[in-house]
Copies of this chain bind each other. A is one copy, B any other.
Amino acid sequence: MSNYATRLHAAVHAKRTPALVGIDPRFDKLPRPCVEAAEKQDPPDRWSLVAAAFEAFAFDLIDVVAPLVPAVKPQAAFFEECGPAGTAVLGRVIRRARERGLIVICDAKRGDIGSTAEAYARGYLAGVDPAAAAWAADALTVNPFLGPDTLEPFVTVAVERKAGIYVLVRTSNPGAGRFQDRAVDAVPLYRDIGTFVEDLSNRHRDEEPFGPIGAVVGATCPEELAELRAAMPHVPFLVPGYGSQGGSAADVAAAFTADGLGALVNSSRNINFAHSRDPYRDQFGDARWQEAVEAATLEMISDLAAVVPVP
């Protein structure tokens, strides 16, 4: 049985794109039909209404993008904001995406010590078998701040279940550098973490080209992206920050190998809410928002194909 990275790359080959669609529902930005569908269910409170609208939105979004891209990345925070009603929807969204053949990366940025980290790992990393964990994700984003020992339980479970983790190495937000760029003997913290992640992934790759331990590296720092790609040849990258955060296709090109593998590029808002931006607002609007999602996804795929070798 192949490891997570090899399984992911098979999906990337099949869809011929490294485009990753984020699932980031925001109530005030949802297309009207999703809200109306939720209202018809007469939910008992505001949070249940929001959660039901998120479910209507995410299910349709998954159906639209499943034939086009290899993977989706639900953002746990937006579902959690709705409380238990929202987390129940998150669980169903993850399972729905798996049923549609998508690789699912749960973006929850978990991190804790010892047996607590183990609980997160066992809870989220289902890997090849969606029934292996309560949340059926293929992979999970993980925060390394607490130390190398706190990554070990995630690595153990990922290896055991053929799941993946993506460790935050250099993020895409404006203030990312304040702590992540702190340099000791000219080695910034992100590079120290990156070296550690490369070692972990290399150690667990079982002679496959990439290992199951990935890295989150933002599109908004193209120089660091190139530096880290060179320093981490066996690590699959997850690249946020493309599109609405300002990263371009040219900025993310350095994340890839010559055959177009080794990274996924995420876009969330520009695809999720394509119905409310030019040129799709006039063309599709709220009523045909699914077509706007499809058009925006195809636009991203073609934008990436212009600068990244098609896998």
A residues lining the B interface (CB < 8 Å): 24, 26, 47, 75, 77-78, 80-88, 90-91, 109-117, 119-120, 122-124, 133-135, 143-150, 168, 171-180, 182-184, 189, 192-193
Contacts and interface: CB of A to CB of B under 8 A. Distances in A.
Nearest to A89: B84
Which of the listed residues A86, A115, A119 has the most CB atoms from chain B within 10 Å of its own CB? A119
Contact of A173 (B84, B150, B168): B150
Q: Which 5 A-B pairs have the closest CB atoms?
A: A83-B134, A149-B175, A147-B175, A81-B123, A145-B145
A123 B77 contact: yes
Given A116-B75, A144-B145, A189-B189, A182 B180 contact: no
Contact of A91 (B26, B83, B122, B192): B83
Given A78-B119, A179-B189, A172 B83 contact: no
Oligomeric state, in copies: 2
A221 to B, nearest CB: 12
Nearest to A91: B84
Given A110-B109, A183-B184, A82 B147 contact: no
A26 B115 contact: yes
Contacts of A183: 184
Given A111-B109, A144-B179, A84 B87 contact: yes
Nearest to A176: B147
A77 B112 CA distance: 9
16 contacts: A24-B116, A77-B110, A77-B117, A77-B120, A80-B135, A81-B119, A81-B120, A81-B134, A109-B143, A145-B145, A147-B176, A147-B177, A147-B180, A148-B175, A150-B173, A150-B175
Nearest to A182: B184
Contacts of A109: 110-112, 143
Contacts of A75: 112, 116
A173 B189 contact: no
B88 A84 contact: yes
A80 B119 contact: yes
A168 B145 contact: yes
A87 B123 CA distance: 11
Nearest to A75: B116
A109 B112 CA distance: 7
